[in-house]
Amino acid sequence: MIRLRPVHIAIGFLVCLGLAGMDPPPASAGNPFSGLSNRLVAEGFAADKIQALYHDPGSIFETEGVALFFVHSETRINYEQFAAAEAIARARQYMARHRDALVAAEAAHGVPAEIIAGILLVETRLGTYTGNRRVFSILSTMAALSDPAVRQALWEQIPPQRRISPARFAAKADAKSAWAYEELKAFLRFTSREGIDPRGVTGSYAGAMGICQFMPRNALRLARDGDGDGRVDLFNHADAIASVGNYLRHHNWRPGLTRDQRYRVILRYNYSKPYAETILKIADQLGE
């Protein structure tokens, strides 16, 4: 998955980076989503629905969240906190509370409960913090950066002392806008399929959502209904547990893998070596 995590730490970067309270683009920049909405309609999304979404007062240009991709930061995640005794105790309680869902996920996908619980612990503190950014606004803002005027408006809102170089900003904006556009389309399709109002879904500043922090393209392809109610809700524990299991199985998790093989599969969830090492460490403790 392409994400920055854990979300409960990442959101807190705003204040220390001097980005809290940033203003939206000036009125002179026009409607930052006009070009984006036209692209979506051209690709087959219903014009009336797209218009309604972008005229909703809650559909804002997410300067604060998106700016995090374009600033200098020396902050590092302290993964050791997730393997501390208190965190492990909470994970054990979680495993007991959701035993049936974890057993079902292991039976269906071959992924041990300890691995799934470890991932959910690091991702969202077992679902207690899933992010407070509107996913629709985050992805729309990033996707709109393909427009030079919108891109310039964002650049001007970033404090000069926090800016990366203009060349690096341009390169990242190109990559992020193309990536976010694909994620936005997947998000609209996923929410439509599951009967979810896209305006009400919150998540990380990268657009990851739910207890398992899936990006929309992964949600569309790999999220699963874990409680048998006929729909996928990533804010439902049983569905999140089943989805993590299915994601790892899709990326070649199999019973009997060596520790190194497990490590490599977990890297497909989040390409961070400390992250993968921490998940295995948590699983070891939960399995004792």
Above pLDDT 90, what percent of the chain? 86
Confidence of residue 75 (pLDDT cuts 50, 70, 90): low
Mean pLDDT of the chain: 91
Confidence of residue 82 (pLDDT cuts 50, 70, 90): very high
285: left (phi over 0), alpha (psi -120 to 50) or beta: alpha
| 14: CB partners within 8 A, 6+ apart | 20, 64, 65, 68
CATH number 1.10.530.10 given to 79-128+211-286:
yes
- The whole-number pLDDT of residue 76 equals 81
CA-to-CA distance for 263 and 284, rounded, in angstroms? Answer: 13
| Residue 8 pLDDT exceeds 70 | no
Banded model confidence at residue 30, pLDDT cuts 50, 70, 90:
low
The pLDDT of residue 72 is 75
Q: What is this structure's pTM?
A: 0.89
Per-residue pLDDT reduced to its tens digit, 97-122: 999 999 999 999 999 999 999 999 99
pLDDT, residue 4, reads 35
Region(s) of the chain under CATH 1.10.530.10: 79-128+211-286
